Chains A and B, each alone.
Chain A
Amino acid sequence: MHRAPATPRPWHSLAWLAWALAAASAVQLAPSPVYVALIVGIAWLMVEAHAPDGPYRSAFPILVALGCIFGVVRVFMAALTTHNGLNVLFTLPHATMPDALGGFTVGGTVESDIVLQAAAVAFTVIGVMAVFGAVNTIWSHYELVQSTPRSFYELGVVVTVALAYIPATIESMRAVREADRARTGGHAVRRGRIVRSILPVLERGMERAVSLAESMDSRGFGIRGPARADIEAGWCVLVALVALAVGFLALVGDGPTTALICGVIGVVALVAGVWRSSRGVQRRTYRRRSLQPGDWWLMFAVALSPLALSAISAAGNSTLAWYASPVEWPRFDPIVAIALVPLLAPLARRTTIPARVEPATAAPDAVVAAVIP
């Protein structure tokens, strides 16, 4: 038996998946802005403590920024289309859509309670994005792929490779911008700049994709189709995922019976999938990292957080959620903050980040990477 590699990542990626699920559930269970802000802070701490060097470090700020954009759009939409609030801030000119288009009114009165409520909801989205962004800077996508049944391996690799293109594309966009400015001796010509920025990035991406495909093909990617057991295991897991997703929706949508049935189906299918997969042909995985006792402990610890929050919620704690009417400051209850403490469990170990070396100037993209802090 071979020892797992001494990677700079002290926790298994599946443990991080558990952390992300726990943190995201915590956002859902305690959507009041105070608690969401705490969870965003915890996510940021995780990035600072555990994100290894590399292009994914920027995933956290980017996803949080995306969440903010979404939030702003949401607040605007709500302000313009929802009109049953109490405290009118100001009134805009309005137009009512024909019935065929829903018959709602755009513009008109803008109420403070509607705006605040929409902002609070938008903030929970930012919270979920922060959690998702944090795990993406930390975990190894390939480690996750290796943990899936063999029949998902090919698909998983393709997704991993596609994800790697996101930071590369952002770097490439910067280089193209700069080249565009340099072309005219430093004057920025705004007209047509989008076309000039996007086309080279796309074309370069295509060229790279072709060489990567050639390289993967030359290294034997996709040489064997999955074995029968793998296909069956794959189907089981697929059924499990769908059932669990439907179950989750039913839970949110107040259908406890459906949720229970789907949940049971999901768990059974998942167990069957894992069992079938382990019975199948020996997977040829190089130094696959298995879950260590520490990883199990972490998963157990972080699960305490949503469990505690559920208990607090069942006990009738009124500070968990916040409503904008009547307008008042969100209230803070220390017991909720204590329930969030298990989410800090990953800090129990430290990430040793390999020495950061000077990026090579031989590769243009690396130069750009050095410029972007």
Chain B
Amino acid sequence: MTGGLAFEAVSFGYPDGPTALAGIELTVAPGDILLVVGSSGSGKSTLLRAANGLVPHTSGGRFSGNVTVAGRSTRDHPPRELADVVGFVHQDPEAQFVVDRVEADIAFGLENLGGSPAGMRRRVEEVMDALGVAHLRDRNPVTLSGGERQRCAIAGALVTTPSVLVLDEPTSQLDPQGAEDVLAAIARLNADLGTTILIAEHRLERAAPIADLAVLMTDGRLTSAPAAPEFVLAEYPGAPPVTRLGHLLGWNPPPLTVRDARRRARAAESVIPAAPTPDLTAPSGDRLLSARGLDVHLGDLPVLHDITLDIHAGEVIALLGRNGAGKSTLLRTLANLILARRGTIDGTAERAYVPQDPSSLLFRPTVRGEIAETLRLLGRRSPEAVDHWLATLGLTELAERHPRSLSGGERQRVAIAAVAVGGAPVLLLDEPTRGMDAASRHALERAIATHAAAGGAVVLATHDVELAARCASQAVVLGDGEVVASGPAAAVLADSLFAPQVAKVLPGYLTVEQVTIAMEPA
């Protein structure tokens, strides 16, 4: 039996849509981990869905060419007939559970395909051990954390012993710890079982090092032949910071991991100028808001304790901390959505809050209409303001699209524009870069900088230290509902176990951009 996967001259267009895949030629050897890289809308998801016949059997549309998995063509076999050779895992960990008990849900695929009860029993136990979810067997999937859920979903896909596992952005909705666990489990599966893995990801810091090969997709085409990830990612804007650093310093091939980069940096110490002294001056803008001694409970559960925080004009504050540390709760308290039990929030500055999930907000048929809607609700009309925010967040070209037809990162930007257009000086963004590709991230960073420069302030709750390093002026670290560190971002981030990648390689620097500037006169 061959465990490989082959795409031959595959082209595809969604019904009434443009071409999504054009002339894909790709062979994945059995046992390889292939990473598919590309911006949102480049056709990654479509390519992955073609691997088990969801495209075209479920999607409809125009399909030509041939996809072969373990000797079977997806033309003749719908996804359910390929369930024993291809496992498929979705990016949304919530939308793939059928049964309300983890163990029974994992067994679902086997029940469909049949087999002896003894064989099923053994298989389910083994798969639970392989993914480290045996202790969760009696739980209801909705009570699990994102990372646990995603590992259970992978177990459910793997229980039929497929030779190929397809993962569509499996970690994009997860926090760093959850992502780490999921990717470690994937690497272990590949090592132990020899499962061929096809994985699409935006956040490459963790995914790239485990991949054997990577391909780059642009507008439905493969723009690079499968090659080692360090070569494919060398010039890719969404590459991990160490890879971009390596490319900047002319290391060939560029490193993928901090460990690798450190070794190279030691050899190249003389080339890199000494780090500039970081700007640690206290904020000078007017004080917009000031929270004093906040205690917040959700129901009976104490979440925040004695939080004190000042927000000045021109500041970008990054709120960091693990899941459950109280970041979202603090933002929602600042937004007046939750009442604090104790403590005060002084200041009359308006604040606007963008929730984690942009889909809670969007309902108009066009992006422009969505942004104008906020002004309409506030009883104002200002096409200039709408155009301004479309431009600031790089949405002008998408203005007439339906928000639901956009990618996660694009939707997030629409939600931010729709909230920011109200003109509140204080913007509260909850996890704004979840599922964002590099282009969306850059647009967002620009918009944050513009807003702060114009006398506003931005508070962002994030797990993404790289984002914090690039755009925050202040950083506040929450732990167990209390502030455990706060101060200028440069100081707080550099002095952390979870420092940005560049700081771990070149102490004193935080971002590739800083290194670029320091290198310029030379």
Contacts and interface: CB of A to CB of B under 8 A. Distances in A.
Interface of A: 2, 5-8, 52-56, 140-142, 157, 160-161, 164, 167-168, 172, 175-176, 178-187, 189, 195-196, 199-200, 203-204, 207-208, 211-224, 284-287, 354, 356-367, 369-371, 373
25 contacts: A2-B117, A53-B143, A142-B104, A157-B98, A168-B142, A175-B355, A175-B357, A178-B332, A178-B337, A183-B418, A183-B422, A184-B378, A186-B335, A207-B359, A213-B58, A214-B58, A218-B80, A218-B88, A218-B157, A220-B84, A221-B98, A223-B113, A286-B104, A287-B107, A361-B175
Given A222-B80, A223-B81, A362-B175, A181 B337 contact: yes
Contacts of B422: 183-185
Interface string B136-171: 011110111111110001001100100000000000
Given A182-B354, A211-B95, A364-B357, A373 B299 contact: yes
Nearest to B81: A223
B80 A360 contact: no
Most B C-beta atoms less than 10 A away, residue of A2, A176, A217, A370: A217
SS class, residues of chain A in contact with chain B: helix
A230 B370 CA distance: 52
Given A186-B337, A214-B54, A370-B298, A221 B352 contact: no
A189 B58 CA distance: 40
Interface stretch (B12-20, B245-253, B322-330): B322-330
A2 B374 CA distance: 59
Interface stretch (B126-134, B227-235, B360-368, B486-494): B360-368
Interface in B102-128: 103-104, 107-115, 117-118, 120-121, 124
A29 B173 CA distance: 53
B404 to A, nearest CB: 6
A214 B363 contact: no
A217 to B, nearest CB: 4
A354 B139 contact: yes
Contacts of A362: 145-147, 173-175, 178, 323
A185 B113 contact: no
A185 B350 contact: yes
A208 B92 contact: yes
B112 to A, nearest CB: 4
B396 interface: no
Contacts of A361: 175, 323-324, 327-328
B393 interface: no
B121 A286 contact: yes
B419 A183 contact: yes
B454 interface: no
Contacts of B290: none
Nearest to B142: A55
A207 to B, nearest CB: 7
Contacts of B332: 178
A108 to B, nearest CB: 45
B52 to A, nearest CB: 6
Nearest to B378: A184
Given A217-B78, A218-B54, 13 more contacts: A142-B104, A160-B99, A168-B142, A185-B351, A185-B422, A211-B96, A214-B88, A218-B88, A219-B160, A286-B107, A361-B175, A362-B175, A363-B93
Contacts of A2: 117-118, 121
Contacts of A286: 104, 107, 110-111, 117, 120-121, 124
B79 A182 contact: no
Contact of B336 (A180, A186, A219): A186
A275 to B, nearest CB: 21
Contacts of B398: none
Nearest to A55: B142
A189 B86 CA distance: 49
B506 interface: no
A54 B121 contact: no
A135 to B, nearest CB: 14
Contacts of A284: 110-115, 117, 120
Contacts of A56: 100
B100 A142 contact: yes
B378 A364 contact: no
A219 B112 contact: yes
Given A184-B378, A214-B90, A203 B363 contact: yes
Nearest to B424: A185
Contacts of B378: 184, 187, 189
Contacts, number: 252
A200 B362 contact: yes
B197 to A, nearest CB: 15
A354 B140 CA distance: 10
Most B C-beta atoms less than 10 A away, residue of A179, A208, A373: A179
Nearest to A157: B98
Contacts of B117: 2, 284-287
B146 to A, nearest CB: 3
A5 B337 contact: no
Contacts of B145: 357, 359-360, 362-363, 366
B489 to A, nearest CB: 22
A52 B140 contact: yes
Contact of B95 (A184, A212, A287): A212
A342 to B, nearest CB: 29
Most A C-beta atoms less than 10 A away, residue of B49, B95, B142: B142
A223 B112 contact: yes
Contact of A218 (B83, B101, B419): B83
Given A208-B95, A362-B174, A218 B337 contact: no
Contact of B374 (A184, A199, A356): A184
B142 A54 contact: yes
B377 interface: yes
Contact of A220 (B54, B57, B112): B112
A312 to B, nearest CB: 39
A112 B324 CA distance: 55
A215 B424 CA distance: 41
Contact of A8 (B83, B109, B138): B138
Contacts of B90: 211, 214-215
A366 B356 CA distance: 12
A363 B94 contact: yes
